[in-house]
Every structure is written in structure tokens, then in C-alpha cells.
Amino acid sequence: MTHLLDIRNVSRRFGGVLAVNDVTGHVDEGELVGLIGPNGAGKTTLFNLISGFTPLSSGTVAFDGRTISGLKTNQVARLGISRTFQNLRVFPNMSVFDNVSVGAVGALPQGALGALFGSLAGGGARSAEISRRTWEALEAVGLTHVAGELAANLPYGQRKYLEIARALAMQPRFLILDEPAAGLNDTETRALADFIKRLHGTGLTIMLVEHDMTLVMSICQRILVLASGRKIADGPPDAIRRDPAVLEAYLGVDA
């Protein structure tokens, strides 16, 4: 069976530290998978390895049967992988629309400047496609009404959705969400959980890192657990809740 994402014996060393240590795992088409673990477990580093932001020290990453290890971030994105970041990466002095347009351009064969400045946009058909993708992404996250606002003027919760919209504008097959609920209150987190479930319901394959266990356990079909850079568990939420290695390493309970 060919998995949509296939990670084989992946490691990443920073000096003498193995941030990710011989991790093997997969995500199948249409899954909603969580990635959890204590601080410093290597979760974001693994995301960076998948999306091309950090080179592998060893191992391979394949997407839809194609090895993507060593590809540049824009090449990975054009294959259908997009992501958000733990620390928001919005452009505060650009409009909401232009922020999302940057994501739309990321999936097209020309740099972002061409999308944002008309003479470089590459023709009317291309500009129309960028606009279409941008409006669709804004509609998906409920931000069409603030499309002309500066990103800096949005409240924190809306900026979270802005970053997701930019990722969606790339029309990915596989969406990586890095701590999407960080900094949100309980009401906002519940709304985010409902939103992620709706996204997943459209057929989008999703993997998320999240510290909010209520969110992870309530929406994820399967959960991978890292500790000290190693994978220590992989299974459905009910099994992860009872796994002795998870209770000891992640929850701090000696099982």
C-alpha cells in the first residue's frame, strides 16, 4: 500500500543533539492525524523535515510515492503540501487579501512579487487564478469581510485563521497545522476544532501538532507520539490514552 506521506528512519541532528531520532511513520489519504509529545520532543522539527524547511540528516520522506527529501520548500508546496507555523508568520502591513495571495502564488510557477504587483503578475489568466484561490481560502475561514484590512488590525484569533487561509490558498492535498490552538481561549479552541473537522470533511488530509489534548483526542483519528526525538506510540486516541509509554513520557505518570 502506498501511503500519501511515508516517513522512513528519519533523523535530524543539530550538533550533538538528535532532535529527531530514527522516526518511521505514515499518513494515509483522507486521514486526520495528531502529533503529540512533551516540549522538545521533536514535533516541529519533524514538520520542518517533511515540508523542506530543514534538511534531513538521514532517512527519507516520500509523498504520494515520490521521494521529496532534499527538495526546496517551494517544490514541496507545489506537490501539494502546505503548512502553518507555531509562531504566526503574517505580514502585518499587508492586507488580509494580499497575505493570502502569497499562499496562492506559492503553488504557481512564479514568485510572490509577481502576484502582488500587476506588471509582473504573468497575465490576466494567472492573476484571475490567484484571485480565485485567495477568495476561496478567505471564504473557507470566514475572513472575506476583512479582506481589505491590514493584517495588523486583526485580533489574534483571526490572524490564526489568516495563516490557515494562506495555506489553503495553495490548494493542498496535505495540510500541516503547527499548534493552531496556541494562545486561543476555550471558546475559540472549540470553534477551531469544529473548523478543522469541517476541513477534514471536505476530503483534505491533515496532520497537526497540538498541546491541547482535548482538541487532539476529540478530532484526530490516529495519534503519533514523540518523546526525546523518538516515536514511542502510534494508534487511535483510546489506545494512546492508555499507553504506558505515553503516560510516563508525555503525561509524567509512571505506569
C-alpha 199: how far from chain center: 13
CA distances (Å), 1 to each of 7, 61, 162, in order? 14, 16, 35
pLDDT confidence of residue 121: 45
Non-local (6+) Cβ contacts of 194 within 8 A are none
Calpha distance 157→177 (Å, rounded): 15
Contact 250, 227 (CB under 8 A): yes
Report pLDDT for 158.
95
Q: How far apart are CA 221 and CA 207, in angstroms?
A: 10
Q: CA 208 to CA 204: how far, in whole Å?
A: 13
pTM for the model stands at 0.89
Q: What is the pLDDT along the chain (255 residues), one digit of tens a residue?
A: 679 999 999 999 999 899 999 999 999 999 999 999 988 899 999 999 999 999 999 999 999 999 999 899 889 998 999 999 877 888 999 999 999 999 888 667 654 444 454 433 456 787 888 999 999 999 999 999 999 999 999 999 999 999 999 999 999 999 999 999 999 999 999 999 999 999 999 999 999 999 888 899 999 999 999 999 999 999 999 999 899 988 887 656 544
Dihedral (Cα; 23, 71, 166, 5), 10-degree rounding? -40
pLDDT at 87: 78
Q: Can you spell out the DSSP letters for 42-83?
A: SHHHHHHHHHTSS--SEEEEEETTEE-TT--HHHHHHTTEEE
